Chain A
Amino acid sequence: DVKVTQSSRYLVKRTGEKVFLECVQDMDHENMFWYRQDPGLGLRLIYFSYDVKMKEKGDIPEGYSVSREKKERFSLILESASTNQTSMYLCASTRGLGTDTQYFGPGTRLTVL
């Protein structure tokens, strides 16, 4: 079974703090994704990576950066957390073939005070 893990289920941070969200997958997938999910807005893509050290902006990259130093690990960084970044953050991975699904981690619920 594919396993995607995220470093924290719940996180509370203060405005202006630097926040790191970690995601690890164990299936040697090339592609990894970071989404945020907010009520009524669905899943919105923040960044994705298709190879080590490679990254592409998604639909809402502002205020975020990412790092992929190893194939299995994809980190999301909030350089200076703000209250409007309070959300559920979901990581996913896939091989990227036409019919290959994305597998999701359990999610991190981040609250920025």
Chain B
Amino acid sequence: QKEVEQNSGPLSVPEGAIASLNCTYSDRGSQSFFWYRQYSGKSPELIMFIYSNGDKEDGRFTAQLNKASQYVSLLIRDSQPSDSATYLCAILTGGTSYGKLTFGQGTILTVHP
């Protein structure tokens, strides 16, 4: 089993819909969870992070964390064509102070007008 797995894409949603991106992880000692967005040909940029169970909202984005079930998700409300990108889930595992992240393989999201 991969350490970090994301739902297989590509994911296609209409403009204005909610896009749901999911990520599961295997290390129960994982501490912090990050969502990055990567446009084609560009480097990843941080959208948000979460480290406590529950929801965390930032504008149109909501991260949800459930440590008991070992999953983290990202919801994008009112999806826009500009949200079309690859979304990477990354996890800071326990036992390291170096900020070492483990990344999922990414989910390609397309928002069509």
Q: Is the CB of A101 within 8 A of B46?
A: yes
Whether a CB of chain A sits under 8 angstroms from the CB of B82 is no
Q: Is the CB of B43 within 8 A of A107?
A: yes
Whether a CB of chain B sits under 8 angstroms from the CB of A34 is no
Contacts of B90 in A (CB 8 A): 102
Contacts of A107 in B (CB 8 A): 42-43
Contacts of B54 in A (CB 8 A): none
Whether a CB of chain A sits under 8 angstroms from the CB of B81 is no
Residues of A within 8 Å of B, CB-based: how many? Answer: 25
Whether a CB of chain A sits under 8 angstroms from the CB of B63 is no
Q: Is the CB of B88 within 8 A of A104?
A: no
Q: Out of B42, B43, B99, which one reaches A31, CB within 8 Å?
A: B99
Known: A40-B105, A42-B104, A43-B88. A102 touches B45 (CB 8 A): no
A31 vs B45: C-alpha distance when bound (angstroms): 17
Whether a CB of chain B sits under 8 angstroms from the CB of A61 is no
Known: A50-B98, A96-B99, A102-B99. A41 touches B49 (CB 8 A): no
Whether a CB of chain B sits under 8 angstroms from the CB of A75 is no
List the interface of chain A (C-beta within 8 A of B).
31, 33, 40-43, 45, 48, 50, 56, 90, 94-107
Task: List 7 A–B pairs whose Cβ atoms lie within 8 Å, in order of A's numbering.
Answer: A31-B98, A31-B100, A42-B106, A43-B44, A94-B99, A96-B99, A107-B43
